[in-house]
Amino acid sequence: MDLLPTVAAYAAGLAATLAVAGYLTPARWWRRPTLRNLGLVALGTWGIGALLLQGVGGAVPAVAAPALAAGAPAVQAPAAAAPSAPFRVHRPLNLRLAAGTGAERQALIPAGTLVAPTGRRVGDWWQVRAEIDGRMLTGWASSLWLRRQSE
């Protein structure tokens, strides 16, 4: 990502936030710094800067989606977001043959079952291994329903 457009977008976001906040809020709000003022400036700068950056074709990391080739999901390499430590299933969870809610369900993982991520992921979908009814199965599950063992 090129740094200059990013810095320019967020600087313009800060300027626009200060201008709009100065116009729309009472002057007494700005007489001394408060957490409310800091939060207003931070959220405004981030929001307006991200919109400006996306408008000029820059990549906004928190918003950007992975490119999909020919409709197939892009599988990412192992990353820190998909550790190999086992996780516990929070509630009964569908184990699917592919990533996504439209994929065929392979099995239902009961709540409390330990699953081990393989390291492959597509967005919030992780490929996991779990023992279900005495069989070791590998499939895709939503990481939103997984909890660390300590939780």
Tally of domains in the chain: 2
Say which CATH number the domain at 138 has.
Answer: 2.30.30.40
Q: Do residues 100 and 144 both lie within one domain?
A: yes
User: Sheet of 87-89: strands edge to edge?
Assistant: 105-109, 93-96, 135-142, 125-132, 114-122, 87-89, 146-148
Q: Kindly state the DSSP code that residue 84 receives in the 8-state scheme.
A: S
- For the stretch 106-131, pLDDT in tens is 999 998 888 999 989 888 899 999 99
Q: Are residues 92 and 144 in the same domain?
A: yes
Instruction: Please give the C-alpha separations between residue 23 and each of 16, 30, 35, 40, 43, in angstroms, as whole numbers.
Output: 11, 12, 19, 13, 17
What is residue 139's predicted lDDT score, i.e. its pLDDT?
93
37: left (phi over 0), alpha (psi -120 to 50) or beta: alpha
pLDDT number for residue 84: 63
92 & 49 share domain: no
Q: Is residue 79 situated within a structural domain?
A: no
- State mean pLDDT over 34-43: 84
Q: Strand, coil or helix: what is 117?
A: strand
Determine the structural domain holding residue 91 and report its residue range: 87-148
Evaluate whether residue 82 is within a structural domain: no
In a domain, 78, yes or no: no
